[in-house]
Structure 1
Amino acid sequence: MVIQVGRRSTFDVISSVRKVVIPCDENSAGRDMRQLHPSQVGYICLSETPEGKSTGLVKHLAMAAIISPRSNTRSVAKYLLKCTLTPGPVEVLLDGMCIGTTSIPHSTIRTYLKRKHKYVSVMLSSPDGDIITVRTWSGRPMRPVYNINNGMPKDTPWKNLLKSGAVEYVDPTETSGLQIAPSLKDVVYGVHTHAEIHPSILFGFSASLIPFANHNQTARNIFAS
């Protein structure tokens, strides 16, 4: 598939290279694939899609969303093997492969790995909390959120926020196990674990230029983007 890159402006170029194209016949009558799934919020722009037959089949990444690079699997595996030296009831999986069992709490493992490898996802993949899943492979959509467990973020450079753990990248699977507040003002300690950075980053680069988008009809935002 060949996608033409727009050259009218800097934002046009950025928007073109951040397209997400669903490989499906645009004449298909299916609606589900054209709609935005709740798990895609924060990763896919809420409004930016073309009109006509391609509506919903061509989407765009949200402003702060990235595609994860591959992390250092060897370093992650080395740490997880140390965790399994204290065996317990919790099974540890690394990229789908069982490493062993451990008694170390999930929160401890997650905090360490997130500090060392910012593009690693760590989650409890079992309702009973007896399986810890760690993913390091590339190609996962990720977005930044505030981690309120590491203290309230301060007005510091972005790289310092990532280094301190105040901001961390999460993927859709990991997000399903987190309690994310709409903003820092809405955080309820003991209930929420994370908070959204700002509502504007739920949009893509083109849609974020729409004045007062939160006061427009949804269809109007789609036309304007």
Structure 2
Amino acid sequence: MSSTAGVSQVLNRYTFASTLSHLRRTNTPIGRDGKLAKPRQLHNTHWGLVCPAETPEGQACGLVKNLSLICYVSVGTPGEPIIDFMISRGMEVLEEYEPMLHPNHTKVFVNGVWVGVHANPKELVQEVLGTRRNNIISYEVSLIREIRDREFKIFSDAGRVMRPLFVVENGDNPESKVPSGSLMLTKDHVRLLNEDRDKLP
């Protein structure tokens, strides 16, 4: 039976900032005495998720990282309601799919599992996106459409590191009156938020 060191640690209480930093620390499970440089280096996918400067000196350099203040870890929501919603919107389940008849249909994955195919992926993506923006499904659900590979991937599982993003309108939307390529966040939204804040007791 092997013993593992560092499972429990005394929480750093020197300052408020150091306590926050300690609570958001991540540990890469690789031996500290290794000479490999790649696990210690920054990666492009860390942008906005990991602090590029906060790491200890010495053997743990680059292996112990700190999550950025805007980064959060997903709690996870069930994927079955999303699958049922897509079936009601014309998704063909995998058991009934005939690849010889419809070779160009887009594959739909939920949490890495191929659940079905759809003939009109653009419409399906817009409908699922609309449910997320209207808070019908959780804001933590990630939607990825790979046009070249003809795949639509949905992730709702726990343990994904995430960060907030600005929403940009891809096409002209008559409902929001936002031109293509512009931010969905407008001055009206900021004004309404300020009015709500002023109403607080």
- TM above 0.5, one fold? yes
Q: Distance in 1 between matches of 2:10 and 2:62?
A: 18
Unpaired runs of at least 5, structure 2: 1-6, 170-182, 197-201
When residues 93 and 85 of structure 1 are mapped into structure 2, their CA distance, relative to the original with a 3 A threshold, is closer
Query: Does the aligned pair in 1 maintain the 2:78–2:157 contact within 8 Å?
Result: no
Query: Does the aligned pair in 1 maintain the 2:121–2:152 contact within 8 Å?
Result: no
Q: Which of residues 19, 44, 67 in structure 2 aligns to 1:61?
A: 67
What pairs up with 1:106-121 in 2 under 5 angstroms? 107-115=125-133, 116-121=137-142
Query: Does the aligned pair in 2 maintain the 1:84–1:101 contact within 8 Å?
Result: no
Cα shift at 1:51? 1.1
Q: Which moved more, 1:53-62 or 1:100-109?
A: 100-109
Tell me: higher relative CO, structure 1 or 2? Use CA pairs within 8 A at least 6 residues apart.
1
Q: Which of residues 9, 15, 39 in structure 1 aligns to 2:15?
A: 9
Q: Distance in 2 between matches of 1:34 and 1:84?
A: 46
Residue by residue, what CA displacement relative to the aligned partner does 1:44-75 show, whole Å, maximum 9, x if unpaired?
11111011111101000011000001123232
Letter in 2 for 1:34: R
Kindly indicate whether residue 106 of structure 2 is the aligned counterpart of residue 90 of structure 1: yes
What pairs up with 1:186-225 in 2 under 5 angstroms? none
Q: Which of residues 31, 52, 58 in structure 1 aligns to 2:58?
A: 52
Cα shift at 1:30? 0.8
Identity of aligned residues (%): 20
Cα shift at 1:84? 3.3
Paired position in structure 1 for 2:165 = 145
Cα shift at 1:138? 0.2
Q: Distance in 1 between matches of 2:106 and 2:63?
A: 40
Cα shift at 1:113? 4.4
- Number of aligned residues: 158
Q: Distance in 1 between matches of 2:43 and 2:56?
A: 18
Kindly indicate whether residue 155 of structure 2 is the aligned counterpart of residue 122 of structure 1: no
**Displaced runs of 4 or more, over 3 A:** 84-88
When residues 113 and 40 of structure 1 are mapped into structure 2, their CA distance, relative to the original with a 3 A threshold, is farther
Q: Distance in 2 between matches of 1:118 and 1:2?
A: 32
Cα shift at 1:139? 0.1
Q: Distance in 1 between matches of 2:62 and 2:130?
A: 39
Q: Distance in 2 between matches of 1:29 and 1:101?
A: 46
Query: Does the aligned pair in 2 maintain the 1:4–1:16 contact within 8 Å?
Result: no
Query: Does the aligned pair in 2 maintain the 1:27–1:53 contact within 8 Å?
Result: yes
When residues 73 and 157 of structure 1 are mapped into structure 2, their CA distance, relative to the original with a 3 A threshold, is farther
Paired position in structure 1 for 2:155 = 135
Aligned CA-pair RMSD: 2.4
Cα shift at 1:135? 0.8
SS at match of 1:144: coil
Letter in 2 for 1:17: L
Q: Distance in 2 between matches of 1:110 and 1:35?
A: 36
TM superposition score normalised by structure 2: 0.70
Unpaired runs of at least 5, structure 1: 161-225
Report the structure, 1 or 2, having the larger helix content.
1
Letter in 1 for 2:185: M
Q: Distance in 1 between matches of 2:131 and 2:113?
A: 17
